[in-house]
Chains A and B, each alone.
Chain A
Amino acid sequence: MDTVHTTLLKDRLLELYQQEQEAIRGKATPFVNRLRKHAFSRFRENGFPETNQENWRFTDLTPLLNTEFVFDFSNQSRHMDVDKIFTCDVYDLDTFSITLLNGWFVYKHAPLTQLPDGTIIGSLAKAMEVYPELVDRYYGKAVKTETHTLAALNTAFVQDGLFIYVPEGVKVEKPIQLINIVNTEYPVFLQPRHLVIAENNAELTLVHCDHSLTHNISFTNTVMETYAGEGAAVSHYKIQNKGRNSALVTSNFFHQDASSRLYSNIITLNGGFTKNILDVAIAGTGCRSEHYGLYLVDSNQHVDNQLYIDHREHSCYSNQLYKGILDDEATAVFSGKVMVQRHSQQTEAHQNNHNILLTDEARANTQPHLEIYADDVKCSHGATVGQLDPEAMFYMRSRGLCERSARQLMMIAFAGEVVSEIKIDALRERIQHMVEKRLKGELSICDQCMLHCNSKEPTTFNIDPGKL
């Protein structure tokens, strides 16, 4: 039956693509529309990913697609006053803040802002009108629509999202904060598209918060492509704190030129269904590529992190560290692949995934994978799925700590290895606080998160250490 429904949604999308062609195309550039057409054919051929595909073996989309989604091809939220429905409460975090509401850029002041140093931040839809050559020069170059069918779907329907352009040599001091909000009365299917460009020797930090203000069903199929030019430095933080009816798939495609530094840290605090795909092409020598992730999931939440680091050039360094704590019937998947191409000598690549299961029902599937074709490399990988150390537990109890406190301290310490890698002080302190609250069962998706929401009743999730 499920397959039938999935097919229904696919058919519906194929239909909508034809019917809504004019609205979807909007003022996109001819190049973007050409890619759209091509990507549409890919999606028509391949459909939604299925569990017989290696990267989707433990992540089944089928039940999520079994919903009567509403599609919104014209921007209804452009003039909504988002300040009325939330404020971000990360203290001391001075950011250039922008908001996407239901996949559309919110015109707070202007659709596009050009800073005095030439940096452009704003709506992708608007950027296609104002800076078509710039968009066309980068758009779609890193996105693998042939093999990533959801990225193909996004490319077929692309309308709006975030656009950032940092010119050569410019260092954007303030982090750029993207707040991605889903707030609707009905089940929605959203496909935001982000394009981030750091020219040679440019620097930028993006803090990307995914949030839902509603308990309604939503499916967000995001694609983000990021270019780091020669010597550029791009940091990407992602904080996911979504309701249990939210499904969020984010396909991140990164392209690194020589001597660039890329850093990502994905903190998943809550989310009914979350899949993060990171595809990194290291296309120049002397690059650094560091990727961290932490997931804290309970009830029947599911989180899947899929990384592919492609060392195409020699003398580069990459590191992956993903850690997770799973309670109840929560499930997690980590599949990390490091590819070292034949001539990529002097590559150093590390990959680690560690999981703590608090119940017998929680499951973690971890697949670290190295594929090495060069002979002068230094690579390592490791994965563990386990419980907290009983010796440490007794040691702590013998000092008077109850089991619950001992577990909390150990879990906070376990998570701390990823949190301590956050390089922005205010953000790190805030995340540390949220992680501690989350592990003490005090974090609600509305009350104690990055965004403060007044209107909806809080949903609390509880990782209960007493269950171990």
Chain B
Amino acid sequence: MLKIKDLSVSVHGKIIIEGLNLEVNEGEVHAIMGPNGSGKSTLASVIAGRELFTVESGEITYLGQNLFDMPAEERAREGIFMGFQYPVEIPGVSIANFMRTALNEKRKHLGLEPLTGAEFLKLMEEKKKMVDIHSKLTNRAVNEGFSGGEKKKNEIFQMALLEPRLAILDETDSGLDIDALKVVANGVNKLKREDNATIVITHYQRLLDYIVPDFVHVLYDGRIIRSGPKELAMELEEKGYDWIKQEK
């Protein structure tokens, strides 16, 4: 589904990712772990299409297409979803209005009829239940005045509505208490299907108690220095990142 080959990325002339390789297939859950500043968030942003970064070399294909030919919105419509580490507040724009526009632009792209207001509201209620959101979150402006937990739940809610093929969750667990963490993890697990894939970016092993990965990768200094099964995460938690750094 996603193939990253020899990717090097810089921002303002500084290399952040250097010669990174990664392959993600349908039905898989990958965890990318690593210390602060190792390039985790940059990787997520580059896949999502943020223009801030310069791709120095390498390629990314998604479902056989060159990802760099597609602007961010087209990637989203083709099924890529990024859960933001810091979801942005958009004053005055209601979540309902925002997501209805997003969903209908995606449907248009796929040659489907737009959802009517009533159809959308029904879908929204279904998805709210699915991800255990009971509040009136959806009538409020996007992320405006939300607590950290509400913001992350809202990301998962958006993910449920958009039903991505490839979801990248950028430190979705950061700043969450255990209850919010469970809500987020449950949402992700419920949304898992045979034909979609998830990349979970995290600093801590904690989230991986709830979202069980098929593969764990350790990112350090812009490179994946180690890949392994889910036990690798446990080992990392136990021994810390220094252990890997020294091995390197």
Residues of A within 8 A of B (CB): 389, 391-392, 394-403, 405, 409-410, 412-414, 416-417
Find out whether the CB atom of A399 lies under 8 angstroms from the CB atom of B90.
no
Q: Which A residues are CB-close (under 8 A) to B90?
A: 389, 392, 395-396, 409-410, 413
Chain A binding site: helix, strand, loop or mixed by DSSP?
helix
CB proximity of B129 to chain A, nearest CB, Å: 21
Please state if B102 and A400 are interface contacts (CB–CB under 8 Å): yes
Inter-chain contact B87/A401, CB cutoff 8 Å: no
Given contacts A413-B90, A417-B92, contact A400 B105 (CB under 8 A): yes
A212 to chain B, nearest CB (A): 31
Does B72 contact A410, Cβ atoms closer than 8 Å?
Answer: no
Rounded to whole Å, the gap between the CB of B5 and the closest CB of chain A is 23
Residue among B72, B75, B84 having the largest count of chain A Cβ atoms under 10 Å: B72
Rounded to whole angstroms, the CA-CA distance of A401 and B90 in the bound complex is 14
| B residues 59-98 in Cβ contact with A at 8 Å | 71-73, 75-77, 81-82, 84, 87-93, 97-98
**CB pair B91 A398 closer than 8 Å:** no
The answer to whether B84 and A395 have CB atoms under 8 Å apart is yes
Binding site for A on B (CB under 8 A): 48-51, 71-73, 75-77, 81-82, 84, 87-93, 97-99, 101-103, 105-106, 109, 141-142, 158, 162
CB distance from B68 to the nearest CB of A (A): 16
Q: CB distance B141 to A401 under 8 Å?
A: no
Q: What is the bound-complex CA distance between A417 and B88, given in angstroms? A: 19
Taking a contact as CB atoms under 8 Å apart, the answer to whether B105 and A401 are in contact is: yes
Task: Report whether B92 and A398 are in contact in the complex, using a CB–CB cutoff of 8 Å.
Answer: no
- B-chain residues with CB within 8 Å of residue A412 when the two chains form the complex: 92-93
Distance A392 CA – B86 CA, assembled complex (angstroms): 11
> Once the chains bind, are B98 and A399 in contact (CB under 8 Å)?
yes
Q: Which of B75, B91, B141 has the most CB of A within 10 A?
A: B91
Distance (whole angstroms) from the CB of B88 to the closest CB of chain A: 4
B142 cross-chain contacts in A, Cβ below 8 A: 395
Residues of A within 8 A of B102 (CB): 396, 399-401
* B106/A400 in contact, CB under 8 A: yes
Query: A395 touching B105 by the CB < 8 A rule?
Result: no
Q: Which A residues touch B82, using CB under 8 A?
A: 398
Pairs A–B under 8 Å by Cβ, sample size 13: A389-B88, A389-B90, A392-B88, A394-B88, A396-B98, A400-B106, A400-B109, A401-B105, A409-B90, A410-B90, A412-B92, A413-B90, A413-B92
C-alpha gap A414/B91 in the complex (Å)? 8
Minimum C-beta distance from B9 to chain A (A): 16
In the complex, what residue of chain A is closest to B83 when comparing beta carbons? A398
- Chain B residue nearest to A405 in the complex (CB): B101
Tell me the complex Cα distance, A398–B92, Å: 19
Known: A395-B87, A398-B82, A399-B102. A413 touches B93 (CB 8 A): yes
Whether A400 lies near B87 (C-beta < 8 A) is no
Q: Are B106 and A413 in contact (CB under 8 A)?
A: no
What is the CA–CA distance of A396 and B101 in the complex, to the nearest angstrom? 10
Q: Which residues of A contact B75 (CB under 8 A)?
A: 398
Given contacts A397-B76, A412-B93, 12 further A-B contacts (CB under 8 A): A389-B90, A395-B84, A398-B75, A399-B158, A400-B103, A400-B106, A401-B102, A403-B73, A405-B105, A410-B92, A410-B93, A412-B92
